[in-house]
């Protein structure tokens, strides 16, 4: 077993992972072995270039349908720029945890909480293709293995640079860290502003959405959870 | 078509109280009385969507003089093809458009994009018609911290920020919310921040013929924050000062101080 059973993952997380066939290619399949995970990408960098013309054509058609004049100077190369921008904003699809974590896990005899907070996060709402952005706070209690601090931010990048739903993003980050480190517990809190609510629809400028995932000892022990929440919210 | 437009503007030219050294290529030629100004422009420059004229030979400033029109019916008719383009985009990004979260995304994204560019459907004249009042007021009027959301025309990524508007009335004042509506009309388009600032200032000038107008926009560009250089805290500030705001440094100072407080 790949160490996943060391963690007391709550039932709903397991259920969520197993039952949600929707994002089958993107799922962190907890049963897959490390070898199989290496090949788990649905998009490779070389493919990006070959897909660019189709994306450009789609954007040109969008501009025209919106009533704009695609020949004016400001819009001449916009389809290409917009296509590249969109590919950048979804580049998380061709990155995996293994690529970035491989060398940065260290054996340290440390079992106190480690928190990295205020990680800026930018993602795309999968329902409206409009950005949402905010801050991610991550805490974990190592179990003899600590991870390089920037790797936590890189894990956030991998999962956020995709078409996302904030709830799923939070869980994916938490589960990704769990799998890589097998810590005693992981906590992830995301506070974000959704442009789909701010720029359109209800148009509430100051609304923020907060989601959290608590795994392991953070779920079971309220005091640990409180400590994390107090430390990550303080400013 | 270009020549006839210029002649029309030239013939209706009034004394320009605002800016003798105008850089706006012929734009102030078109200054006329309040109702004619708006209608005159709209009548002189009817724009079918998609451009009956190719933009490649037009001087840069001309492209924002015309008020492009797009109707609500146009929106409904273009929805299927917009949705189809978005489906292509989803597939091109390596996503599965059939998964539950993405099933209706092309339609939602298309409607959202139409909302973000709804400024193309609206004309200043519709918004301003009744809200110009004769008041014997000649002190500065400022409306600040107007939230603004636009789309970068280069990357199709949002821009958002705040607009501060000040003007010195010349016997005519404007309903305050109309200033915010003018901002909405011009910002809900594919924009460049410099052009947006100028368009707002010029629209107010044309509607009211005030002694002066000042517009300052402070915005965050997601194309710089989410991608590219990725500078989280960067803000872009642009301003347009017309009339007495441009000529008299004290007036400009007063405006800038008041919007900062």
In chain A, what residues touch B70 (CB-CB under 8 Å)?
A: 66-67
Question: Can you name the residues that pair with A214 across neighbouring β-strands?
Answer: A187
DSSP letter assigned to residue A49: H
The beta-carbon neighbor of B88 closest among A58, A70, A88 is A58
Residue B167's φ and ψ, nearest 5 degrees, are -150, 155
Q: Is B6 a catalytic residue?
A: no
Nearest residue of B to residue A68 by CA position? B50
Distance of CA B106 to the CA centre of its chain: 27
Is the pLDDT at A86 greater than 80? The verdict is: yes
State the average pLDDT for chain A.
83
Q: Is A18 a catalytic residue?
A: no
In chain B, what residues touch A66 (CB-CB under 8 Å)?
A: 70, 78, 82, 113-114, 117, 120, 190
**Over the stretch A154-190, which tens digit does the pLDDT of each residue have?**
999 999 999 999 999 999 999 999 999 999 999 999 9
Looking at residues B96-112, what average pLDDT do you find? Answer: 93
Q: By C-alpha distance, which of B211, B221, B220, B219 is closest to B255?
A: B211
Residue B44 tokens, joined: 């002189």
Residues of chain A with pLDDT > 90, as a percent, come to: 63
**Over the stretch B55-71, which tens digit does the pLDDT of each residue have?**
344 443 343 445 567 88
Which carries the bigger pLDDT value, residue B57 or residue A115?
Answer: A115
State the average pLDDT for chain B.
79
Pairwise CA distance, residues B254 & B261, whole Å: 11
Residues of chain A with pLDDT > 70, as a percent, come to: 81
Is the pLDDT at B47 greater than 80? The verdict is: no
**ipTM surpassing 0.85:** no
Pairwise CA distance, residues A211 & A190, whole Å: 5
Q: Which of B6, B8, B223, B254 is catalytic?
A: B223
| Residue B230, phi-psi category: left (phi > 0), alpha (psi -120 to 50), beta (remainder) | left
Looking at residues B91-115, what average pLDDT do you find? Answer: 93
Q: Do A85 and B105 touch (CB under 8 A)?
A: no
Q: Which of A4, A167, A191, A196 is catalytic?
A: A196
pTM across the whole model? 0.75
């Amino acid at each position: 077993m790949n160490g996943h059973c060391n963690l007391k993952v709550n039932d709903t997380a397991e259920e969520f992972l197993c039952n949600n066939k929707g994002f089958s290619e993107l799922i962190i399949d907890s049963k897959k072995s490390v070898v199989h995970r290496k090949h788990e990408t649905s998009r490779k960098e070389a493919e990006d270039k070959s897909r660019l013309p189709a994306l450009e054509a789609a954007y040109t058609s969008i501009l025209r349908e919106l009533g704009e004049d695609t020949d004016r100077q400001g819009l001449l190369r916009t389809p290409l720029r917009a296509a590249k921008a969109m590919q950048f904003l979804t580049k998380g699809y061709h990155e995996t945890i293994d690529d970035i974590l491989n060398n940065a896990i260290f054996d340290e005899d440390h079992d106190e909480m480690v928190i990295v907070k205020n990680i800026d996060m930018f993602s795309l709402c999968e329902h409206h293709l409009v950005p949402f952005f905010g801050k991610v706070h991550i805490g974990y209690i190592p179990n003899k293995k600590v991870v390089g601090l920037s790797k936590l931010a890189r894990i956030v990048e991998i999962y956020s640079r995709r078409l996302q739903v904030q709830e799923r993003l939070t869980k994916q980050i938490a589960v990704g860290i769990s799998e890589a480190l097998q810590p005693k517990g992981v906590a992830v809190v995301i506070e974000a502003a959704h442009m789909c609510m701010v720029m359109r629809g209800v148009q509430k400028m100051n609304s923020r959405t907060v989601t959290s995932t608590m795994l392991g000892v953070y779920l079971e022990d309220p005091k640990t959870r409180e400590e994390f929440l107090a430390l990550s919210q303080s400013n | 078509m270009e020549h006839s437009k210029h002649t029309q503007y030239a013939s209706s030219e009034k004394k320009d109280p605002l800016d003798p050294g105008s850089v706006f290529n012929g734009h102030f030629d078109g200054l006329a009385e309040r109702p004619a100004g708006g209608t005159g422009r709209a009548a002189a420059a009817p724009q079918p969507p998609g451009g009956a004229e190719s933009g490649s030979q037009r001087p840069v400033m001309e492209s924002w003089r015309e008020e492009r029109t797009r109707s609500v019916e146009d929106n409904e008719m273009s929805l299927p093809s917009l949705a189809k383009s978005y489906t292509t985009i989803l597939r091109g990004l390596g996503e599965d458009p059939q998964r539950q979260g993405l099933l209706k995304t092309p339609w939602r994204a298309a409607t959202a994009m139409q909302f973000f560019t709804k400024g193309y459907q609206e004309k200043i004249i519709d918004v301003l018609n009744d809200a110009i009042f004769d008041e014997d007021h000649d002190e500065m009027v400022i409306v600040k911290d107007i939230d603004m959301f636009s789309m970068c025309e280069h990357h199709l990524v949002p821009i958002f920020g705040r607009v501060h508007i000040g003007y010195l009335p010349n016997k005519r004042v404007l309903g305050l919310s109309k200033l915010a509506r003018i901002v909405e009309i011009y910002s809900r388009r594919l924009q460049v921040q410099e052009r947006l600032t100028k368009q707002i200032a010029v629209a107010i000038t044309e509607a009211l013929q005030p002694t002066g107008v000042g517009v300052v926009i402070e915005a965050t560009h997601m194309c710089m924050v989410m991608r590219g250089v990725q500078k989280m805290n960067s803000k872009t500030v642009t301003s347009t000062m017309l009339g007495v705001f441009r000529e008299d440094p004290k007036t400009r100072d007063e405006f800038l101080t008041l919007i900062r407080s």
